[in-house]
Structure 1
Amino acid sequence: MENYFDIIFSQVNITLSVLLIILIIYWLITMISGIDFDLDVDVDVDIDADVDVDMDTGIEGGSMDFSDVANAEVDREHVVNKGTRKLKWWQIILIYFNFVGLPFMFTFTFWIFNWWLISVLTTMLTVSYDNSFGFVIVLLAIVPSLILTKILTAPFKSFFKNLNKDGDKAVDFLGRQAILLSNISGEKLGNAEVNVDGNIMNVYVKSLDGSELRFRESVLIIKQSDDKNFFFVSKS
């Protein structure tokens, strides 16, 4: 037992071990207290409507709030540049490995655990947990840990598909008032803020008739796009 402890907290594995312990504490506090540590990571996906992203998401938030529970499954070949730009490589990686398709902390915990497990087992079998070769193994373990994370988290996508971040049924945004968080016109997508029973939610929006709509302007959500990636809005 002492030998296992030495391996887990060796100079090679201690960083991942400590991070995993922090994540375990995070989930314990969340389950016991019900506190939602809302992690808002700004991915800044400034996509143009000409970018064809073949996904059924319902992702809410111009800044792509990772705590939103969405069902995104995008392969690299699905991101096609028809006119102006593509998603950045790191955005594709986050989406492909379900960091966007599922609650971020959920997928992140799976990834760290898989990375830690692969690193500990491999360094133990190769007796490299106390030398420089072990650090190489830990770095190389990133790739298989991501692949394993995608495989293990994929079954959870159907569970979260129709839920919002509070675990309730997805909100019906049609007919609601929204406040624009960016200027939109023509084919340009933007962000809007919607107040739903006191809860502020963000959605992707596009002008219904292509007319210019300004920042902080009040708009009415008319309908959802066929691919469910954004909503069409008009002046209220």
Structure 2
Amino acid sequence: MGDLYNILFSEVNLVLTILLIVLILYWLVTMIGGIDFDLDFDVDVDVDASPAMDMSTGMEGGNMDFQDISNAEVNQEDVVGKRRRPLKWWQVFLIYFNFVGLPFMFTFTFWIFIWWFMTALTTSITYSYDNVFGFVIMLAAMFPALIVTKIFTTPFKGFFKNLNKDGDLPIDYLGRKALLLSSISADKMGNAEVKVEGSTMSVYVKSLNGEALPYGSNVLIIKRSPDHNFYLVQLYND
């Protein structure tokens, strides 16, 4: 037991071990307490992609929060065959390794666990968990861990694609009032905030008739796009 402790909390494995413990605590608290952690990290997205992609582009300010990315659904066909401009390398990275298309924390936890397991196992076998060679192994294990993560998480796409972020059936937003979080006009896509049964949801929207709708406007959700990736809205008149 002492040897195992020394390996897992050695200089090489310490960071991954602590990170894995934090992730385990995160999932335990989430499952037991039913707490929804609203992680609001901004990721700049300025690529002009087609509406078929959930990683919407052409949004004013180009901001997509962490929660959007963690729940976005992007198919490989949408990325390869329907885009008008190339995606940036980090966007391709997130999509290819299932950080987009599955809940972000789900894929991230898989990756950290596999990376940690590979590193801990290899450094224990080679007795390199407390020297420079062990750090080389840890860094090198990052990439095969990504590949294994993609293999193991891909089957879960069919399970998650018909669920919303809370694990329930998709919500019907049609006919609901929403608050614009970005200005939209013509084909420009933006975000809108919708309150459903006390919960606040974020959806992608476009102007129904192409008219300019400024930030902060109250809009009415009229219909859903044929690809089910955004909604068409018009100005809401009280």
Larger relative contact order (CA 8 Å, sep ≥ 6): 1
Instruction: Letter of the 1:234 partner, please give it.
Output: Q
Shift of 1:125: 2.4
Distance, in Å, in 1 between the alignment partners of 2:105 and 2:154 is 15
SS of residue in 2 equivalent to 1:43: strand
Shift of 1:67: 8.0
SS of residue in 1 equivalent to 2:50: strand
Q: Which moved more, 1:212-221 or 1:2-11?
A: 2-11
Q: Which position in structure 2 is the counterpart of 1:165?
A: 165
After TM superposition, the runs of 4+ consecutive aligned structure 1 residues lying more than 6 A away are none
TM-score (norm 2): 0.85
Distance, in Å, in 2 between the alignment partners of 1:217 and 1:55 is 24
Kindly indicate whether the alpha-carbon contact (under 8 Å) linking 2:188 and 2:206 is maintained by their aligned counterparts in 1: yes
Q: Does 1:105 align with 2:97?
A: no
Kindly indicate whether the alpha-carbon contact (under 8 Å) linking 2:70 and 2:99 is maintained by their aligned counterparts in 1: no
Relative distance call for 1:76 and 1:180 in structure 2 (3 A) is closer
Relative distance call for 1:222 and 1:149 in structure 2 (3 A) is same
Kindly indicate whether the alpha-carbon contact (under 8 Å) linking 1:182 and 1:192 is maintained by their aligned counterparts in 2: yes
Shift of 1:205: 1.0
Q: Which position in structure 2 is the counterpart of 1:72?
A: 74
Shift of 1:34: 2.1
Instruction: Letter of the 1:52 partner, please give it.
Output: S
Q: Which position in structure 2 is the counterpart of 1:63?
A: 65
Kindly report which structure 2 residues correspond to 1:180-219, keeping only aligned pairs within 5 A, or say none. Answer: 180-219=180-219
Kindly indicate whether the alpha-carbon contact (under 8 Å) linking 1:67 and 1:165 is maintained by their aligned counterparts in 2: no
Q: What's the C-alpha RMSD, in Å, of the aligned pairs? A: 2.6
Give the percent of matched residue pairs that are identical in Structure 1 and Structure 2: 58
Shift of 1:9: 1.4
Q: Which position in structure 1 is the counterpart of 2:121?
A: 121
SS of residue in 2 equivalent to 1:99: coil
TM-score (norm 1): 0.85
1:52 aligned residue (37, 50, 53): 50
Q: Which position in structure 1 is the counterpart of 2:59?
A: none
Relative distance call for 1:71 and 1:189 in structure 2 (3 A) is closer
Distance, in Å, in 2 between the alignment partners of 1:128 and 1:146 is 22
Shift of 1:221: 1.5
Distance, in Å, in 2 between the alignment partners of 1:53 and 1:146 is 28
Kindly indicate whether the alpha-carbon contact (under 8 Å) linking 2:53 and 2:79 is maintained by their aligned counterparts in 1: no
Relative distance call for 1:121 and 1:75 in structure 2 (3 A) is farther
Shift of 1:144: 0.9
Distance, in Å, in 2 between the alignment partners of 1:205 and 1:228 is 11
Structure 2 residues without counterparts, runs of 5 or longer: 57-62
Q: Which position in structure 2 is the counterpart of 1:4?
A: 4
Shift of 1:47: 4.5
Question: 1:74-122 deviations in whole A, cap 9, x for unaligned?
Answer: 379627652xx54332222222222222222211111110110111112
Relative distance call for 1:53 and 1:86 in structure 2 (3 A) is farther
Q: How many residues were matched structurally?
A: 230
Q: Which position in structure 1 is the counterpart of 2:223?
A: 223
SS of residue in 2 equivalent to 1:185: coil
